[in-house]
Structure 1
Amino acid sequence: MEFSRSPGPPVLPNLHRLVWRTIKKAWDDGIVGWAAQAAFWQALSLPPLVLGILGSVGYIAGWFGPDTVDVIYERIIAFANRTFSDNVVGDIIKPTVDNVLGRGRVVVISAGFVISLWAGSSAVSCFVASIVRAHDQHQVRNPVWQRFFALFLYVAFLVIAVFLLPLVALGPNYLHEIVPESWDPIVTHLIDYGYFPFVAALMLIVLTTLYHLALPNPLPWHRLVGGAVVAGVFFWIASYILRIYLTAITRAGYTYGALATPIAFLLFAFFLGFAIVVGAEFNAAVQSLWPAKPAASTQVREWVSSQTSDITGQLKTLPDRLASGPIRRGRYPDDPETGRERPARTRSTRSRPPDDGQAG
């Protein structure tokens, strides 16, 4: 099965059309509602997420060293300090992480852990629904299956994160041990200036993979990188402005009392969901202006479907071709039409019981 791709309009003269189409489509799809829903589920999913990741890391921490969990804790807090405001880190993220680490390893087979998986996957389900809506594929996948699909994505993310987090957290320490001592100053500067860009690039890869896997009919992976970059840049700018705003109103004395920290966290979560939806809408706008060939998996699925339809159509017409008409007897000479003599009918040779009158 052949797939053709039209070249589409030139890129630079149509950038304004791309921006306008992204904004219009995002507004028509209700981006504010999706972002608010994502913020709510992120707030509800944060404790299960931390419980699932750090609790599961305890099972493999011994593979990487005795202080693996402590190093991961430091890296998480350092990354949170660069992303969120001080009150969000100090009042929400840090106590949550401390509470999970204070309990030690979680029992993976416990009912509480299973419930945390379902609650933690709610945010992923919201992201999947918004991405599918952006590409107008929301009627392709069954809603019930889509919810379980989000759960499977969340579990896969947990499994990958459990093995990836120790490597990312302990990578700088391993580099210091591997390289010669003469290279230590160079490696130190490389870690200081390149560690967080590396983590950001890793997050972009994860987001691009989410854009790819969320779609029932996915686009090629490389065509979704642009949306991930747009989402990352948007969230970085939004979080930077939000931190300045929160710092300013705190210094001015305008606070929300005990609700200040939860509101700040919800604002960060709102802009994170907003950024992910904007990235998905950007990818959909690019696809509408410059259509790409379907992904290899989609091409294979459509080819198999077309072949199956052809075979099914042939099987449906097979009974019509094999159907026989009514059974007809041949014509004989004594027939009025042919004059051939019919063969004499043979009488049945089966014994018949004697009549009652001849029995005596």
Structure 2
Amino acid sequence: MAVPSRVGTALRTIGTVGARTVLAAWRQDPFTKAAAGAFWLTLSLPPLLLGLLGCVGYLGDVLGSPLVEQLRTRLLALSDTVFTHQVQADLIAPTITDTLTHGRGEVASVGFVLSLWAGSSGISSLVDAITAAHHQQAIRNVVWQRVFALLLYLGGLVVAVVALPVLALGPDLVGDLIPQQWQHETARLISWFWYVVAALVLVAALTTLYTLAPPHKLPWRRGLPGAVAGVLLFVGAVVGIRIYLGWISSTGYTYGALAAPIGFLLVAFVVGLAVVLGAHLNVVVQQLWPARPARWWRRLRLLPRRIRSR
């Protein structure tokens, strides 16, 4: 009888936490905050790509002509599967050739400046939502809030530059280290293992954001519940969106082309919504099971009593 009773208690606790999280988030209009963050982060991607394309031309001197030509061949082969032969010959091929052979410093500069502005605005929207969830929105200075968001965006770009190539190329690199006779049996295992690694990286990054965003910070582990819930919500929503896009694409090329940008915008919105709901979940967990104050904070609170006792 003890096991069913514990299961019932756990289910009631989960229901209570979920209901309080949804209610607390609903009072602060999570959809507007998620949409604002999604809008700015989506707006930062085109100028970021524009800045990267402006820098690609300078890589020819570093990487060498053979590697640049190989990259050009692969890009043309990829575009041939998407565009018609006439469009590729008149527009795509000259653009790719010019981009890979001539650097555009002015394009890269403007692109990166616009990306920093839009990306920091998106991070600022999410930081505002997390701070409001903790009821600490009036503590941090407005100017410092924007500078803080810019620093977070730059840090996120650095982490993405390091982590994304590793996550993308990791399975192939690990597969090359395995003996030839075992590669077929271990390919699926490595693929699933890399999904787990990617999920753990997302959880760690989101937990760090939840820890750094509020002015009065909690221990890092206190951001884990919201980060795990946010990643699960994001993964579930992405799976649903992929099913939707697959069904729409099966009805015809026209509807598939129209559904692709809708799916991208939905994914961006789900990212913002997952961050906002995860922040409110962390607040509810803190309310139900308060974190123990740090040792220095306990000493600071006891200092007036010690002074009075003397």
Identity of aligned residues (%): 43
Letter in 2 for 1:225: L
Number of residues of Structure 1 aligned to a counterpart in Structure 2:
268
Question: Using the alignment, how far apart are the partners of 1:256 and 1:304 within structure 2?
Answer: 64
Q: Secondary structure at the match of 2:277?
A: helix
8 A Cα contact 1:226 1:283, kept in partner: yes
Partner residue, 2:84: none
Shift of 1:31: 0.5
Question: Using the alignment, how far apart are the partners of 2:125 and 2:248 within structure 1?
Answer: 31
Shift of 1:178: 3.3
Matched, 1:35 2:28: no
The 3 A distance-change label for structure 1 pair 172 and 235 is closer
Partner residue, 1:226: 225
Question: Using the alignment, how far apart are the partners of 2:137 and 2:216 within structure 1?
Answer: 11
Question: Using the alignment, how far apart are the partners of 2:50 and 2:97 within structure 1?
Answer: 9
Residues 202-255 of structure 1, C-alpha deviations (whole Å, 9 max, x = no match): 1121111111111212221112111111111112222233333455556668x8
8 A Cα contact 1:48 1:120, kept in partner: no
Residues 69-100 of structure 1, C-alpha deviations (whole Å, 9 max, x = no match): 97xx99xx9xxxxxxxxxxxxxxxxxxxxx99
- Unpaired runs of at least 5, structure 1: 1-9, 78-98, 314-360
Residues 9-40 of structure 1, C-alpha deviations (whole Å, 9 max, x = no match): x8654332211110110000110111121221
Work out which of the two has the higher radius of gyration on C-alpha atoms and give 1 or 2.
1
Question: Using the alignment, how far apart are the partners of 1:235 and 1:168 within structure 2?
Answer: 18
Matched, 1:206 2:202: no
8 A Cα contact 1:220 1:293, kept in partner: no
The 3 A distance-change label for structure 1 pair 56 and 240 is same
Partner residue, 2:109: 110
The 3 A distance-change label for structure 1 pair 115 and 170 is same
Residues 284-309 of structure 1, C-alpha deviations (whole Å, 9 max, x = no match): 11111111124x5xx65x579779x9
Q: How does 1:1-360 map to 2 (within 5 A)?
A: 13-50=12-49, 103=99, 110-248=109-247, 260-294=259-293, 300=296, 302=297
8 A Cα contact 1:121 1:150, kept in partner: yes
Q: Secondary structure at the match of 1:140?
A: coil
Residues 122-153 of structure 1, C-alpha deviations (whole Å, 9 max, x = no match): 22111111111111111121122111101001
8 A Cα contact 1:132 1:215, kept in partner: yes
Question: Using the alignment, how far apart are the partners of 1:178 and 1:116 within structure 2?
Answer: 38
Please report the TM-score for the alignment, with normalisation by the length of structure 2: 0.70
8 A Cα contact 1:52 1:158, kept in partner: no
Question: Using the alignment, how far apart are the partners of 1:54 and 1:135 within structure 2?
Answer: 40
Residues 44-72 of structure 1, C-alpha deviations (whole Å, 9 max, x = no match): 1222444567888997x96xxx69x97xx
Letter in 1 for 2:212: L
Shift of 1:281: 0.9
Question: Using the alignment, how far apart are the partners of 1:258 and 1:174 within structure 2?
Answer: 34
Residues 329-360 of structure 1, C-alpha deviations (whole Å, 9 max, x = no match): xxxxxxxxxxxxxxxxxxxxxxxxxxxxxxxx
Q: Secondary structure at the match of 2:217?
A: coil
Question: Using the alignment, how far apart are the partners of 2:223 and 2:33 within structure 1?
Answer: 20
Residues 152-182 of structure 1, C-alpha deviations (whole Å, 9 max, x = no match): 0111111222222333233223323434445
8 A Cα contact 2:31 2:273, kept in partner: yes
Question: Using the alignment, how far apart are the partners of 1:139 and 1:31 within structure 2?
Answer: 19
Question: Using the alignment, how far apart are the partners of 1:189 and 1:249 within structure 2?
Answer: 28
Q: Secondary structure at the match of 1:110?
A: helix
Q: Secondary structure at the match of 1:132?
A: helix
Question: Using the alignment, how far apart are the partners of 1:191 and 1:286 within structure 2?
Answer: 35
Question: Using the alignment, how far apart are the partners of 2:282 and 2:97 within structure 1?
Answer: 39
Please report the TM-score for the alignment, with normalisation by the length of structure 1: 0.61
The 3 A distance-change label for structure 1 pair 291 and 121 is same
The 3 A distance-change label for structure 1 pair 13 and 101 is farther
The 3 A distance-change label for structure 1 pair 218 and 240 is same
The 3 A distance-change label for structure 1 pair 100 and 235 is farther
Letter in 2 for 1:149: F
8 A Cα contact 1:121 1:151, kept in partner: yes
Letter in 2 for 1:164: A
